[in-house]
Amino acid sequence: MSRIGVAVIGYGLAGSVFHAPLVAANPDLEVRAIVTANPERRRRAGRDFPEARLLTTPDQLWNDTSGIGLVVVATPNHLHAPQAITALGLGLAAVVDKPMALSTAEAGTMLEAAERSSGVLSVFKNRRWDSDFLLLRETLESDRLGGLLRLESRFERFRPEVKSSSWREATTPEAGGGLLLDLGAHLIDQALFLLGQPRGVYAEIALARPGAVADDDCFLALDFPGGARAHLWMSTLAPSIGPRWRVWGSREALEVWGLDPQEAYIAGGGRPGDPGYGQPDGSQRAVLTRGGEDGPGREVALPAGRYGDYYAGMAAAIRGQGPVPVPAQAGWDVLAVVEAARKSAATGTVVSPAIRG
């Protein structure tokens, strides 16, 4: 069976670290075109994929999609909706980097475009295949914790100065910048994956660093039917980094420190499929603690991370052999929580997120 040709639009961090290497590692997919106008990124793309077409603008791709079956949109957030809609209109499948769009209104037009074209549309939520999230899922599925009552999740960094060269930090939230649409999209998606749709959202959102134009310190509290709660933190101003996860039920608690090593591994020149890819490297630590027990708890092994599972699922979905690995509706749901969070922060109230009818 011939490989599915893939065009990657954008070759910054998302395109060069997350998407293109994962596509290239899949035997059913092949990077055949890369779109970037940045001279240095074009040189890097040419070194990484010498047989791929190097294009300067998306229009060059739209004018000639021969050999392409899937378009990966890895551009700044405000371009996600128009580029994905164009790809779908040309009969191509589309993967959109998170967040899906700037708003639920934009995301809704993308869902409608996919429905009209019967095209495959998915949002890239690679953090569903982090080693820590896989461990958490295994722990919940085996009912080690005794249900899920409280979920605390963090992405914290210490970067006290605004990085003006980063469009995410130099762009207002309305235009797609800020942590809530960046790291927050991951944290919200993971919480919704485990607990479903929240009935209430409370948020505190700040532009805390001098000169900041986009949110850089955020807290969200999500209340779910049945009584479960999720508390989510994302910050660039945390001198002390808290646990990545702190989750408990009626019997036990799971705590995980440190970040999944897959991003650092690929950014350092490694590739999926290399010996050791995804394996624990000592940067993470996981502990289970039983209620009422004295002592520090019991360390548990983390599984290997599996970002490659996402594109394996996409290849199967395009060929009609399996479901889309992350349905586009999940991207809309995340944006509904983001919009509720912004309203909550502005009013100081708990807000119910919208539900797509």
* Mean pLDDT across 222-227: 96
**Closest alpha carbon to 280 in 299, 308, 301, 295:** 301
Cα angle 279, 254, 187; round to 5: 75
- Taking the alpha carbons at both ends of the chain, their separation in whole angstroms is 39
Q: Is the peptide bond before 99 cis (omega within 30 degrees of 0)?
A: yes
Identify which of 344, 162, 346 has the alpha carbon closest to the alpha carbon of residue 237.
162
- CA-to-CA separations, 326 to 137, 151, 189, in angstroms, rounded: 16, 21, 10
CATH class of 4-124: alpha beta
Q: Mean pLDDT across the stretch 298-304? A: 96
Q: What residue spans in the chain does CATH classification 3.40.50.720 cover?
A: 4-124
d(CA 182, CA 330) in angstroms, rounded, equals 15
Residue reference for tokens 């409608």: 112
**The pLDDT value given to residue 165:** 84
Residue 248 parent element (H or E)? strand 245-248
Task: Report pLDDT for 15.
Answer: 97
Question: Phi and psi of 227, rounded to 5°?
Answer: 100, -10
User: For domain 127-306+337-347, is the CATH number 3.40.50.80?
Assistant: no
Sign of the Cα torsion 153, 158, 162, 164 reads negative
Mean pLDDT (whole number) for 164-190: 94
pLDDT of residue 172: 94
Tens of pLDDT, residue by residue over 84-107, are 999 999 999 999 999 999 999 999
Q: Pinpoint the residues of the chain covered by CATH 3.30.360.10.
A: 127-306+337-347
Of 264, 263, 13, 324, whose CA–CA distance to 127 is shortest? 263
Give the count of alpha carbons within 13 A of 64, CB side only: 9
Instruction: Quickly state the pLDDT bin for 294 (edges 50, 70, 90).
Output: confident
Residue 295 has pLDDT above 80, yes or no: no
